[in-house]
Amino acid sequence: MALAILKKPLVQEAVGRLLASYLRLVQKTNRISIAPEGVYETRVRPDLPVIVAMWHGQHLMVPYGRPDWMNASSLVSRHGDGEFNAIALRQLGIGAIRGSGAHGRKVREKGGISAFMAMTRALAAGQTMVLTADVPKIARVAGAGIVKLAQVSGRPIYPVAVTTSRRYSARNWDATTIGLPFGRCAIVVGDAIHVARDADEAAIEAARLAIEAGLDAVHAHAFAMVGRDDPAEAMIAANRAQAAAKRAQQQASQS
């Protein structure tokens, strides 16, 4: 019964607006520091439009990493809490492209192909895209989708981390984090990652690993700035070992 109520458009609109109001409260009551100083004006702005990469568990922190002058949209899942997130983002001045990353045959089912095309069109029109680099449900393992988007669009990827000293972290697959009011907020932007249009398989894998390393670095910096530990740290090694084993198995079956 409760799930059915949450699917009603009026309820979804109300929940989305409430979430947006809460996120504004967190933003207004946290002391925000950005590193490196002036990075948005000196490095990101001249490169617009760009692809902003974040880890999946930080998706509720996306609005804090967007300057007011940045025209941006975010990739938002078609399922679960996606509708609430899309409405909240709209209230905060961020567009939403519906779809999500997936593995194998599930890409089409989750709207991955249509979303990819919509993101390439948005970038071509001058709109920055914000999306998570990892694919459900293997947290902190970058997928190839974001690399392909950079390759096709010709736009650079900027790894970004946003965290707060006071926060709630869920015990789920991606350690979903939501900031709490009255603390400190750190926003860290990494070096741009470029993917050539003619990149071969080896270059795409190198870019994927560079995204992982870049996101690891900005998250470590951000959590150090607020004096807290990364709640997803424990899952990284296991997930990456699992992903590496799966890639090795796929390569062996193809040879």
Report the helix count and the strand count for the chain, using DSSP H and E: 10, 9
Where residue 80 falls among pLDDT bands split at 50, 70, 90?
Answer: low
pLDDT of residue 54: 96
Contact 189, 85 (CB under 8 A): no
43 close to 188: Cβ distance less than 8 angstroms: no
pLDDT at 198: 97
Q: Which class is domain 2-254?
A: alpha beta
Give the pLDDT score at 5.
75
Domain boundaries, the chain: 2-254
Report the run of H or E that residue 52 belongs to, with start and end: strand 51-54
Which whole-number Å values give the CA distances from 121 to 23, 115, 135, in the listed order?
Answer: 28, 10, 22
pLDDT confidence band for 227 (50 / 70 / 90): very high
> CB-based contacts of 218: which residues, under 8 Å, 6+ apart?
159, 160, 161, 188, 189, 190
pTM tops 0.75, yes or no: yes
Q: Considering the chain, what is the average pLDDT of its residues?
A: 91
Q: How confident is the model at residue 20 (pLDDT cuts 50, 70, 90)?
A: very high
Residue 93, Cβ neighbours under 10 Å: how many?
13
Across 110-115, average pLDDT: 78
pLDDT of amino acid 250: 82
What are the pLDDT digits (tens) for 125-146?
999 999 999 988 899 999 999 9
pLDDT of residue 105: 53
Task: Check residue 199 and report its DSSP letter.
Answer: -
Residue 101 has a pLDDT of 62
pLDDT at 246: 87
- Where is pLDDT greater, at 78 or 91? 91
Checking if the pLDDT of 106 tops 80, the result is: no
